[in-house]
């Protein structure tokens, strides 16, 4: 997803993203609203171990409402112990108003957001 092709307007906003990027549809999309009082600890989950391979090829773009870093090396990956994935993009979004572009509950809205696009291995 290149920074200049998507946005938050009527013609290029979230409801239109799936037309150019089919993976951007369905019920597993952002935002993920984690409500701390509703979380449940599972002692059977393994500890999270983060690791990464050095990325040698990236593209960076700024379209005025976000900075997008696209990782082009298909062999580079990030790993969380039992699950490996390729991080293909990191996006930092903002807007002048003091609320989120995404549709979060009012008590959880932020002025800036960080997202990543990953592909499981």
Q: What is the pLDDT of residue 97?
A: 52
Tell me which residues are annotated as active site: 65
Q: What is the pLDDT of residue 43?
A: 92
Per-residue model confidence as pLDDT tens for the chain (121 residues): 444 566 667 887 777 878 877 777 776 665 566 778 888 999 998 876 666 666 666 778 887 777 777 766 655 555 545 555 666 667 777 655 544 445 555 555 555 666 666 665 5
**Domains of the chain, earliest start first:** 17-120 (3.10.200.10)
Q: What is the pLDDT of residue 100?
A: 45
User: CA distances (Å), 119 to each of 35, 59, 80, in order?
Assistant: 26, 18, 13
Q: Are strands 83-94 and 66-71 parallel, antiparallel or unpaired?
A: antiparallel
Task: Look up residue 100 and give its two tokens.
Answer: 């989120």
Q: What is the pLDDT of residue 96?
A: 52
What gap in Å lies between CA 48 and CA 25, rounded to an integer?
28
Task: Look up residue 49 and give its two tokens.
Answer: 């171990």
Q: What is the pLDDT of residue 2?
A: 46
Q: What is the pLDDT of residue 29?
A: 62
């Amino acid at each position: 997803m290149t920074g200049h092709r998507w946005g938050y307007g009527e013609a290029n906003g979230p409801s239109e993203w799936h037309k150019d990027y089919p993976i951007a549809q369905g019920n597993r999309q952002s935002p993920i609203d984690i409500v701390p009082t509703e979380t449940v600890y599972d002692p059977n989950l393994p500890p999270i171990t983060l690791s990464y391979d050095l990325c040698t090829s990236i593209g960076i773009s700024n379209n005025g409402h976000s900075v997008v870093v696209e990782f082009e090396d298909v062999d580079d990956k990030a790993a969380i112990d039992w699950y490996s994935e390729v991080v293909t993009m990191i996006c930092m979004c903002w807007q002048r108003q003091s609320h989120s572009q995404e549709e979060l509950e009012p008590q959880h809205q932020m002025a800036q957001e960080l997202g990543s696009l990953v592909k499981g291995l």
